[in-house]
Amino acid sequence: MDNDRASRILAALVREYIASGEPVPSSLLASLAGVGVSSATVRNILARLEDEGFVQQPHTSAGRIPTDRGYRFYVDLLLETRRSARTRQAVEAQLRRDAANGVLVDDILTHASHVVSQASRHVGFAVRPAHVTAVFDRVEFVPLSSTRVLVVLIARGGHIVQKVIDIHKPLGAVELHQAANYLNDEFRGLPLYRAREAVLARMTEERLLYDELLERALRLATSTFSDLPAESGFYVDGAASLLEQHHGLTLETLHTLLQMIEEKQRLIRLLNEYIDGQGLTVVIGAEHLEPSLRPFSLVASTFEAAAGTGTVGVIGPTRMRYSRAITVVDAAAQAVTRVLRAQN
């Protein structure tokens, strides 16, 4: 949007609609936006914004409400000036008190999800780095005896898992090397949990009866993946807030989100799809990959820990207090990173 006056009017409209939940009339915007123009001029600007897809009018006589594109414009403005040292310091102070009492990373993340939920009045969550978020790079099998094998599982980023398994039948170094080559060719680049799922699915294929190398490789892989955690540590707080102030959401929509939170793994997979690198991510309404989540917006930010990258964030209706949500999520992620670094 290249018109400064239209930008200020749209920003004022989004702020007012978030605060009131009611369509915003042009007469009110003329005073809120501080642009010094008449209501008639504001109406003309709103008509253009509606044509461009930034606002919509629920009924002919009503004011306007923002569309997902309007929210996105507003959020992009906020992202330019999102830092709040005061909020970060307050969150960090509480997390440091937790750390001083000898609590674990899990306890810190539990508190972080509570902080962002309370501050935003939406569902807060935190995801701990774990093997599920690691990407499979390669596996090596080292014979220790006729039936005992050292497994070295290497994930991208340098994460290494070592374990000793008993395969209950003699296998030589050449056979183990062939099995490792097969698994590395088939599954390199997949998240570990997806590699495990693929292995389990292939174990049911009839061709295992006819392919000795495949059968051997998949049985070794099953033993390799068996002790890895099924999912990342996922901490959630404030789910009841969706029911207390549902912002016009249907019960079916609320149920869908609550079910996804309960399943956890679906939400973690979506986060992995959304988050590309470090920093803040905001997904608004129609931008969601999952159609059932389009009545909601998500604000998330990454934090750094010894085990890798984790996430702190909030989920709430598209009529979200984005300025507050962005500030507290960004601050919490920075605080978690600093506290965890201080523990190492």
State pLDDT tens for residues 143-168.
888 888 888 888 775 567 778 888 88
Name the residue with higher pLDDT: 307 or 30. Answer: 30
Mean pLDDT computed over 55-81: 89
Give domain status of residue 72, yes or no. Answer: no
Is 91 within the bounds of a domain?
Answer: yes
- Whether residues 119 and 49 share a domain: the answer is no
Those residues whose C-beta lies under 8 Å from the C-beta of residue 139, and which sit 6 or more positions away, are: 151, 152, 153, 154, 180, 183, 184, 221, 224
CATH number of the structural domain spanning residue 22: 1.10.10.10
Q: Do 118 and 249 belong together in one domain?
A: yes
pLDDT in tens, 155-203: 775 567 778 888 888 888 888 999 999 999 988 988 777 788 888 888 7
Rounded average pLDDT over 338-343: 78
For residue 328, the surrounding DSSP H or E stretch is: helix 322-343
Neighbour count for residue 57 (Cβ, 10 Å): 14
Within this chain, do residues 175 and 298 fall inside the same structural domain, yes or no?
no
Whether residue 236 sits in one domain with residue 174: no
Tokens 């008993």 belong to: 166
Q: What is the CATH number of the domain that holds 318?
A: 3.30.450.40
End-of-domain residue from the set 208, 225, 242: 225
Q: Residue 154's CB: how many other CB atoms inside 10 A?
A: 17
- Does residue 129 carry a pLDDT above 80? no
Query: From CA 125, how far away is CA 337, in angstroms rounded?
Result: 16
Regarding whether 247 and 168 lie in a shared domain, the answer is no
Report the alpha-carbon distance of residue 170 to residue 193 in Å, rounded.
28
Mark whether 236 and 124 lie in a shared domain.
yes
Strands 65-66 and 55-56: antiparallel
Give the residue from 185, 201, 225 where a domain finishes: 225
- Quick one: which of 113, 52, 133, 67 has its CA closest to 287? 67
CA dist., res. 229 & res. 127, Å (int): 14
Domain co-membership, 235 together with 338: yes
Question: Number of folded domains in the chain?
Answer: 3
User: Is residue 240 domain-shared with residue 337, that is, in the same domain?
Assistant: yes
pLDDT at residue 133 in the model: 57
Residue 311 lies in a domain: yes
The answer to the question of residue 71 being in a domain is no
pLDDT at 232 over 60: no
> In this structure, are 114 and 235 located in the same domain?
yes
How many C-beta neighbours within 10 Å does residue 242 have?
22
The CATH number covering residue 158 comes to: 3.30.390.60
- Domain co-membership, 120 together with 216: no
Domain end (from 176, 210, 225): 225
Range of the domain at 139: 133-225
Q: Is residue 339 part of a domain?
A: yes
284: which 2 tokens? 């608004």
310 within some domain:
yes
Query: pLDDT tens-digit profile of 22-39?
Result: 999 998 998 876 767 788
Is 218 among the domain residues? yes
Using CA atoms, how far residue 152 sits from 138, 155, 188, in Å, is 8, 10, 14
254 and 308 share one domain: yes
Return all residues near 83 (Cβ < 8 A) that are at least 6 apart: 330
Its pTM stands at 0.69
Q: Is the pLDDT of residue 229 over 60?
A: no
Instruction: Examine the domain organization and report whether 119 and 247 are in the same domain.
Output: yes
Q: Which of 304, 333, 329, 299 is nearest to 317 (CA)?
A: 299
Is residue 33 one of the residues assigned to a domain?
yes
How high is the mean pLDDT of the chain? Answer: 82
